[in-house]
A and B are shown apart, each in its own frame.
Chain A
Amino acid sequence: MSKPEGESQRLKLGVFKFASCDGCQLSILNLEEDLLALGQALDIAYFPEASSDMEPGPYDIALVEGSITTAEDAHRILSVRQQTKVLITIGACATAGGIQALRNWADVEAFKQAVYPSPEYIQSLNTSTPISEHVHVDFELWGCPIDKGQLLRVITDLIAGVQPRLPADSVCLECKRRGIVCVLVAKGLPCLGPVTRTGCGAICPGMGRDCYGCFGPSEGARKGPGLPPNTASLARHFHGGLQLIPIEVMRRFRGINGYVSSFRAESDTWEKKT
C-alpha cells in the first residue's frame, strides 16, 4: 500500500491467520465503509487476505485469528509475538481453540486415516490449542465470528491509548434489554445464554432458537469478574428439567468453545455419566 504523509505516527497493524475458517478476518472486511476509514487511521501493514503488500514487523497491534494445530504454527506464533506490542486474539479459534479443538478428545491418527489414504504426508498436531497456551495475549475478543462493532471499539480504544474493556456478562441480560422472550423458559430449549458472554446482541434467541455458546463463557454473573459462570446449575436444569440425557448435556457444552476450561470441565463431567 502506498504510504501517505505522516505514516510513521500511525499505528502499524498486522492480521495473522492460523487454523480457522477466515470468518473473523471477513468480519474486518465487513466493516465496509469503516474499513476505508480504518485504512486511513491505521497503517494496515500486513493482511494477506486483503493485500499483496506484506510489510515486515515490528507491529503495534496484531490481530490473530485461528488456533495452533501444527508444529510450524507453534513456531510462527512465537515470531508474531516477538514482533508485536499488543497482541489480540480474534474469535473462538484463537481464544479457545475453536471448533477444531474437538479433536482434543479424539484420536487424531484415526481421523487422519479416515480422511487421507496416506496419512503420513499430513502435518498436524494431535491438538488444537488457543494462542494463550503458546504466548502472552494482551486482549481476547470472543465470538465465532467476532462482532465487528466490538472489534471497532477495541481498535479505536487502542488508537486513543485506552485499555480496551468489553462487557462480559451473559447473553440473558442482552435478551432482557432487547425484550426477547426467553427460549429456555417459554420453549424449553437447552439455551446456553445464561452462561455465554454477551456481545452478539442475543442473535439466537432473537431468531427463536437456543444460544449454542459461540461467544464463550460469561464472567462473574454471580461470583465476580474473571470467575467462571455457573455451568453446573444450568447443566442440571438441562438434565432434570428439560430431560436431556447426559450425552446431550455433554454435547451442549462441547461445541464451538468446548475447550475453554469451564465448558470443558462441564462436558467432561457429563461424559462420565453417559
Chain B
Amino acid sequence: MSEGPDQIRTIAVDMVARVEGEGALRVTVKDGTVRDVELKIFEPPRFFEAFLQGRHYEEVPDIVARICGICPIAYQMSAVHALEQIFGLRVEGALRDLRRLIYCGEWIESHALHVYLLQAPDFLGYDSAIAMAKDHAAVVTRGLRLKKAGNAIMTLLGGRSVHPVSVKVGGFSRVPLRRELAALKDELLWARDAAVETVRWVASFEVPNLDMDYNCVALRHPDEYPLNEGQIAAAAGLQVSAHEFEHHFTEHQVPYSNALHCTLQGSPYVVGPLARLNWNHEHLTPLAKQALADNNIALPLRNPFYGIVARSIEILYALEESLRLVERYEPPPLSAAPITVRSGIGMACTEAPRGILYHRYEVDGDGVIREAKIVPPTSQNQSSIEQDLRRFMPRLLHLPDKEAALACERVIRCYDPCISCATHFLNLEIRREGRA
C-alpha cells in the first residue's frame, strides 16, 4: 500500500454482509486524510409510496408490511396510527396493550437476530453465526431460542411472524383468548433470564473506543418506554409531535444513493436503540435497570459499538413488558373499534426496532389513499453512519485495504441498517489519492 504522490488506489470488497439489503461504501483518501465517505444504497427502489395511491385504507397494513420482512409490525403500526388519526379514533385498553405486545415481539425477534446472528460474529471473529455455533453452540442456540420467543408472540397475535395478517385499522381481525396468551408465559420467563445473560455477554465484548457527539432522536412518552406513541425528542429541547415532523426533518437526495438522506434542520442525527435508551432509560423495567447497573453501563451511550448493548437491554425490557401485558390481559369485547370513514390527513411516528418510522397519509371520503409518505429509520441514520466512518477511518489507514474495509463494515453494522427499508451489496471502495 505504499503510494507515491498523486497515485489513486481503489480498494473494493464485493458486499457488506450481514445487513438487510444492498449497499456499497466509497471512501476517498487524499494525502493520508479522509476526504469523502459515501454510503451508497443500490437496493433498487420499490416505489411503495407511489402504489399506495389509489388503494383502499383497509389494504394499507398488508401492503406496507412488504416494505420489510424484518420489521413489518413497525410499518403496520405507523400506518394504522396515522389512518386512525384521520378517522378520529383512539385505540385504548386491551387493544392498545395487544399492539404493544406484538411490537415487543418484533423488537425481540429483530434485536435477537441482529445481536446473535448478524453482529456478535464481528466481536468474536467469525464470518457467521453458523460458523460461530461450532465453537459456541450453547450461545447461538440461546440466541435462536430468544428470537423464537419474539416470533411466538407475533405468530400468536398476527398469524405469522413475517408479514402478520391480523393488524387492521381499529384493532385486530382476531384477538387471542386469555389462555392462549397465558400459554406463552413459560417461554417468556425463560427468555427473560436468557436476556439478562445476553446483556452480560455483550457487555463483556471489547469495543473500539469512539466517542461521538450524537444528536439522539427518539420518541418520549410521559409514562412508558416508547413504542407506538410519544413526542419526538431531540437535542436543544426540541420536542414535537409527528404532525410537525416535516417542519423539522427534511429528506434530500444524494447522487450516490437510492435512499433519501433525512436530516434534522440540516444536520445528521441518530435514531434507534442507542437514542431510545439515552432518552427513555427512566422508563425501563426493574431487571433492565438492574442490568445497566450490574454491567456498569453508563448513560448516555455515545459510541456506536454500544448499539449491541442497547439492543440487548431492549430485548430484556421487551420481555418484561410482554410478561406484564400477558399477565393483565382481559380480552376486549370487540376485536376492532368501528370506523367512520372521512377524508383528511394523518401523521404518525412509532419506534421501529431501528428507530423512528414516520408515515403520512391523505385519504379521500371513500377511504381511498390519495398520497402517502414514509420515512424509514435507515434513511435517517445514513448521514450519521457516514460521520462515524469519517471519524473512524483515520485509524484504519495503516491497515491493508481488506482489513480496513472489514472494519468499516463493522461500523456500519452497529446501526443494523435495513437497506431493504431504505432501499445488499455493500461494495466498499477506498480511493487513496496522494500519499497514504
Which A residues form the contact surface with B (CB < 8 A)?
1-2, 17, 19-27, 29-30, 32-33, 35-36, 39, 44, 47-54, 69-70, 73, 98-100, 102-103, 106, 108, 110-112, 114-118, 121-124, 128, 144-145, 200, 203-204, 206-209, 212, 214, 248, 251, 255-256
Contact = CB atoms under 8 A, between A and B. Distances in A.
Q: Report the 4 A-B pairs with minimum CB-CB distance, sorted nearest first.
A: A23-B69, A51-B128, A53-B127, A209-B173
B356 to A, nearest CB: 20
A52 B50 contact: no
B20 interface: yes
Given A54-B15, A207-B165, A251 B56 contact: yes
Contact of B162 (A27, A116, A212): A27
Interface string B41-66: 01111111111000110010011001
A203 B68 CA distance: 20
A48 B258 contact: no
A121 B255 contact: yes
A118 B45 CA distance: 14
Contact of A117 (B45, B148, B158, B253): B253
Interface in B410-436: 418, 420, 424-425
Contact of B166 (A23, A112, A207, A255): A207
A209 B163 contact: no
Contacts of A123: 42, 44, 258
19 contacts: A19-B43, A19-B46, A23-B162, A26-B162, A30-B162, A32-B145, A50-B17, A51-B17, A99-B66, A102-B47, A102-B51, A108-B47, A116-B260, A207-B165, A207-B173, A209-B166, A251-B55, A255-B59, A256-B62
A178 B67 CA distance: 31
A214 B162 CA distance: 12
Contacts of B253: 116-118, 121
A255 B141 CA distance: 38
Interface stretch (B30-38, B130-138, B272-280): B130-138
A23 B173 contact: no
Contacts of A47: 128
A112 to B, nearest CB: 8
Contacts of B174: 207-209
Contact of B67 (A21, A29, A51, A121): A21
Contacts of A98: 66
A22 B70 contact: yes
Contacts of A145: 69, 160, 162-163
Contacts of A102: 47, 51
B59 to A, nearest CB: 7
Given A33-B144, A44-B130, A118-B253, A204 B66 contact: no
B161 interface: yes
Nearest to A93: B66
A8 to B, nearest CB: 18
B159 interface: yes
A255 B56 CA distance: 12
B71 to A, nearest CB: 10
A51 B66 contact: no
A52 B46 contact: no
A114 B20 CA distance: 25
Contacts of B70: 22-23, 26
Among A1, A33, A124, A251, the most chain B Cβ lie within 10 Å of the Cβ of A1
A35 B131 CA distance: 12
Given A51-B130, A144-B66, A30 B18 contact: no
A204 B68 contact: no
B129 interface: yes
Contacts of B145: 32
A187 B134 CA distance: 52
B133 A48 contact: no
B38 to A, nearest CB: 13
Contact of A32 (B63, B148, B160, B173): B148
A179 to B, nearest CB: 15
B335 interface: yes
Nearest to B413: A52
A100 B48 CA distance: 7
Among B15, B44, B69, B256, the most chain A Cβ lie within 10 Å of the Cβ of B44
B165 A25 contact: no
Given A21-B69, A207-B173, A212-B62, A103 B44 contact: no
Contacts of B51: 99, 102-103, 106, 111
A212 to B, nearest CB: 6
Contacts of B55: 251
A54 B50 CA distance: 35
Interface string B117-160: 11001000001111101100000110011011001000000111
A102 B52 CA distance: 10
Nearest to B128: A51
Contact of A209 (B45, B63, B165): B165
B113 interface: yes
Contacts of A35: 130, 144
Contacts of B56: 248, 251
B20 A49 contact: yes
Contacts of B160: 145, 200, 203
B133 A39 contact: yes
A219 B353 CA distance: 39
A28 B252 CA distance: 35
Given A53-B131, A69-B44, A204-B159, A30 B151 contact: yes
Nearest to B368: A247
A54 B18 CA distance: 11
A267 B173 CA distance: 26
A30 B45 CA distance: 26
B365 to A, nearest CB: 15
Given A99-B63, A121-B255, A32 B131 contact: no
Given A19-B46, A22-B21, A214-B163, 12 more contacts: A19-B43, A22-B69, A36-B133, A47-B128, A48-B15, A51-B127, A51-B130, A115-B45, A124-B45, A128-B46, A145-B160, A251-B55
